[in-house]
Amino acid sequence: MPHPDAGNNGGPTDATTDGNVAYGRKPFKRSKSHFADRITADGRDGWPAEAGRYRLVASRACPWASRAVISRRLLGLEDAISLAITDPIQDDRSWRFTLDPGGRDPVLGIRFLSEAYDARETDYPGGVSVPAIVDVPSGQLVTNDFQQITLDFATEWTALHRPGAPDLYPEPLREEIDIVMAGVYRDVNNGVYRAGFATEQSEYDAAFRDLFRRLDLLSERLLDRRYLVGDTLTEADIRLFTTLVRFDAVYHGHFKCNRFKLAEDRVLWAYARDLFQTPGFGDTVDFHHIKHHYYRVHTGINPTGVVPAGPDLSGWLTPHHREELGGRPFGDGTPPGPVPPAEEVPPSGRPEHLLTGS
């Protein structure tokens, strides 16, 4: 999610003075990632996959960044690539490290993610987006290609995966996974933003129609299968989950995606709870960050900055019964271990504490 340029989050297209107020007041457009270098096993782009060399910069508020956080955890890459979590509240300089002591990232030593962008390309004119991977020795941004980062985690970082890591992008299923992900991206991941940032009724109506048509199709697909493709977790499930987990908290009201709440669709609600309760998914979600980012940053949509107290989050922990459909979440592998203490979501962001309005 960049700010305030189009970038990965799909905000307005002014990267200069409009800041948070511009959200919802300019035409929606999602641009391609400007920095699309890849970190690979053979280092063909000049960036070999090496333990300890790179730092993943993410926001727990951002669905695109959350993909990378979930993938990293499922694959056990915590020791291979370190994690920086930004403040969910951006200012006009975008993502900040104000959650860290002294307002600086303790590894990179910078106050703003934009400094890593500037180290890579002086006077870069575009938006500053997460997820971003930074080369620690040079302090330079390597990539902000949100579509490719997780695929490379699954396929190029295999030598650094934990024992028992799942295959999130199995080669025999890649064609089907890609087809499913394309529809999810266009109509759901991107669709909620098309609706939320629409500046004309016709734009909103089209996005709303596409979003709920796709959700209906996904609900039908998941009626008798536990996961989107095959009988194990894949990249496709990660990408759908990061939108579903935000749906009732922000997209239903803030983005006017209100034909129904997620909790009102029996299949999708059970599917989302199944994933939330799977190690590696819900234990990365911070509802406090999610709500405060959307409602306080998008002042063009919510000018008061008031953050709603609801919804009640306790439902995320209720039985889902999806295990009755079979499936093996991690295939022949195993669940990830406990969350590293330094990466645990604070109590205010977890549903068991029900501090939705704090």
The answer to whether residues 8 and 144 touch, using CB atoms and an 8 Å cutoff, is yes
257 is catalytic: no
Question: Which of 169, 193, 204, 271 is the catalytic position?
Answer: 193
95 carries a ligand binding annotation: yes
Residues whose CB falls within 8 Å of the CB of residue 61, separated by 6 or more in sequence, listed in order: 1, 88, 286, 289, 290, 292, 293, 294
Q: What are the backbone angles phi and psi of residue 319, rounded to the nearest 5°? A: -60, 140
Q: Where are the alpha helices (DSSP H) in the chain?
A: 63-75, 114-120, 146-155, 174-184, 191-196, 201-221, 235-246, 266-276, 287-297
Question: Which of 23, 54, 62, 251 is the catalytic position?
Answer: 62
Helix (H), strand (E), coil (C) string for 314-345? HHHHCCCCHHHHCCCCCCCCCCCCCCCHHHCC
CA dihedral 289, 283, 116, 159 (to 10 degrees): -170
The Cα 242–Cα 226 span in angstroms is 17
The Cα 88–Cα 251 span in angstroms is 17
Q: How many CB atoms lie within 10 A of CB 315?
A: 15
117 is catalytic: no
Question: In the structure encoding, which two tokens stand for residue 241, read together?
Answer: 């989950």
The answer to whether residues 213 and 203 touch, using CB atoms and an 8 Å cutoff, is no
- Give binding residues as ranges: 95
- Give binding residues for glutathione as ranges: 95
Catalytic residues: 62, 193
